[in-house]
Chain A
Amino acid sequence: MSMQTIEEKNRKAKRRAFKAGCAVFLFLGVCTFLSVWVQEMMRNEVMTTQGNVQTKAGESWVAFPASAIVWKDGEPRIQYVHREEGLFEREWIVHEKRVPVMEEEDGAVSVPADELPMDSGKVDMIYQAVYPAEEGESVEIIQEETKTLSQREIRGRYAGLLGFLVFSMAVLVIIWKKLCFFQERRWQEGMKGVVLLLLYLVISSWCFERMRIPREILPEEQIFDVVFYLKNLSLAKLR
């Protein structure tokens, strides 16, 4: 094989490696950016209560809605949230504690105050959640129940998500092609890719800020659960 052919072969191999590497790292970069938003969107929404402190027979009791009690392995437990250091900011993290047998009355339960994990005399107990909360999960506290979205609104939000997905794929292919010019030392074309990437990130952030999607119309486990969306859409049609 002549020297020129070997050099040409090496150059081609280099170009292929650069293209593949560029695609992988671009994908990982965009995933990093998207995962921040996905994590935020998929955060379970819960409502909390601190209960009412009552004194019975000289002992302090806390009364709260019975829905705050979760039965696990035949034992009553409460789920409460505690603010802890998260990846970017302080987050509400779910914890669980077994509570002793309680009095139940009119949909409310009472538990001795000293059995609760009080922090500065109060504890935020979860009494309602969009999806069952789990220990260690990061959740978002909402103040009041969000109104149920209309069929049109649900469709609109889903169309927004799908549109964003299609837009992202198209733009990312263009960006990848532009970035590959760096390998050929066509700096100007390559820089266009970088500018496009920055623009894409800015536009995406803006879209995510505007497109607030209530947790209840997103799947429980993973955001790409197509079956859930189809089911939800057919339910919306029936409503």
Chain B
Amino acid sequence: MRAKKREYLLPGILSAAVLVPVFYMAACSFAGDESPGFSLMGYYTVLFSEPGYLLRFWRSLAMCGVIAAGQSLTGCMGGAAIAKYRFAGSKVLAICMAVFMILPVQATLLPNYIFLDRLHLLNSWWALILPGIFAPFGTVWMAFAFRAIPGEVSEAAEMDGAGMLSHVFHILIPAARPAVITLFVLSFVESWNMVEQPVTFLKGVRQYPMSVFLASIDIDRLSVQAVCGILCLAPVTFLFFYYQQELLDGIGESIWS
């Protein structure tokens, strides 16, 4: 019993250290901005008196939902093409995708900026959505997941007359469901936390999604900032708790396959 307790000690301390900023944020959300002491004014301001915060939250949520759904779709299609079909340049394409995936966001900002400028998409949320949807991570991730599905399954589907699309949507995606959900969650979290892209591609604070807007809240309104921070935790926490098992399976399958 004691040995088991000791086993949990280090992870427990590390977890507590990770959670300190969250606890600090929660404590700040109950602090008064003008006078010290307990106050719920931060919550009142964000939830009831200034709709701007919640409207921005929903807009950001919708944007990240679109990016995550879009990236899951393009990832599944691209991943299936690379993993299950042979075509001229498929290997080169797969290598290119993997290389682009490794590149840091900062390295792709400038080419993306120039490209979006030519498409007249700067200063609109499309500048965040389109590069997010077509990020190479989804394709590489799904290619790994689809490769783990035995070739016999695909052959059997082809023999039964399944076309390319029904092969992807009825055979591969259901078979790799945890990986698809993991991709959805990871791309959602990535877009929910993006900072560099909105700062570069959007002009003003009015357009910023929640992740960047947090920093532009007046420092004198620490409680409002803390409540907005807690608000930011809600969607991600929900996704992690709801898809806990799928995440474990998805990450496990893709890594060990």
Interface of B is mostly: helix
- Chain A 187-216 against B: per-residue CB contact (8 Å), 1 yes, 0 no? 000000000000000000000000000000
| Chain B residues closer than 8 Å to A17, beta-carbon distance | 238, 241-242, 244
Per CB-CB distance, the 5 closest pairs between chain A and chain B, nearest first, are A21-B238, A17-B241, A32-B54, A35-B51, A31-B47
| Chain A residues closer than 8 Å to B244, beta-carbon distance | 10, 13-14, 17
A31 touches B242 (CB 8 A): no
A28-B54, A222-B41 known; A35-B242 Cβ under 8 A: no
A39 touches B50 (CB 8 A): yes
Q: Flag whether B55 is at the interface (Cβ < 8 A).
A: yes
| Chain B residues closer than 8 Å to A38, beta-carbon distance | 48-49
Contact residue among A21, A29, A32, A36 (Cβ-Cβ distance under 8 Å from B242) = A21
Q: Flag whether A182 is at the interface (Cβ < 8 A).
A: no
| Chain B residues closer than 8 Å to A14, beta-carbon distance | 242, 244-245
A28 touches B51 (CB 8 A): no
Minimal beta-carbon separation of A96 from chain B (angstroms): 18
A223 touches B51 (CB 8 A): no
Minimal beta-carbon separation of A94 from chain B (angstroms): 16
Q: Flag whether B52 is at the interface (Cβ < 8 A).
A: yes
What are 25 A-B interface contacts by the 8 Å CB criterion?
A10-B245, A14-B244, A17-B241, A21-B241, A24-B234, A25-B234, A28-B47, A28-B54, A28-B231, A31-B47, A32-B55, A32-B58, A35-B47, A35-B48, A38-B48, A38-B49, A39-B49, A39-B51, A87-B51, A87-B52, A87-B55, A222-B41, A223-B48, A223-B49, A224-B44
A31 touches B48 (CB 8 A): yes
Minimal beta-carbon separation of A224 from chain B (angstroms): 7
Which A residue sits closest to B52, measured CB to CB? A87
CA–CA, A222 and B49, complex, Å? 8
| CB interface residues, B 39-66, toward A, < 8 Å | 41, 44, 47-52, 54-55, 57-58
B47 touches A24 (CB 8 A): no
| CB interface residues, A 36-57, toward B, < 8 Å | 36, 38-39, 42
Which B residue sits closest to A16, measured CB to CB? B241
| Chain B residues closer than 8 Å to A25, beta-carbon distance | 234, 238
Q: Flag whether A123 is at the interface (Cβ < 8 A).
A: no
CA–CA, A35 and B52, complex, Å? 9
| Chain B residues closer than 8 Å to A29, beta-carbon distance | 58
- Chain A 1-42 against B: per-residue CB contact (8 Å), 1 yes, 0 no? 000000000100110011011001100110110111011001
A42 touches B49 (CB 8 A): yes
| CB interface residues, A 162-179, toward B, < 8 Å | none
| Chain B residues closer than 8 Å to A13, beta-carbon distance | 241, 244
| Chain A residues closer than 8 Å to B238, beta-carbon distance | 17, 20-21, 24-25
Minimal beta-carbon separation of A181 from chain B (angstroms): 16
| Chain A residues closer than 8 Å to B50, beta-carbon distance | 35, 39
| CB interface residues, B 200-233, toward A, < 8 Å | 231
CA–CA, A87 and B52, complex, Å? 7
CA–CA, A17 and B244, complex, Å? 10
Minimal beta-carbon separation of B190 from chain A (angstroms): 20
Which B residue sits closest to A225, measured CB to CB? B44
Which B residue sits closest to A11, measured CB to CB? B245
CA–CA, A17 and B241, complex, Å? 6
| Chain B residues closer than 8 Å to A224, beta-carbon distance | 44, 48
CA–CA, A25 and B235, complex, Å? 9
Minimal beta-carbon separation of B220 from chain A (angstroms): 13
CA–CA, A222 and B44, complex, Å? 8
Contact residue among A18, A21, A34 (Cβ-Cβ distance under 8 Å from B48) = A34
- Chain B 147-180 against A: per-residue CB contact (8 Å), 1 yes, 0 no? 0000000000000000000000000000000000
Minimal beta-carbon separation of B187 from chain A (angstroms): 19
CA–CA, A14 and B129, complex, Å? 29
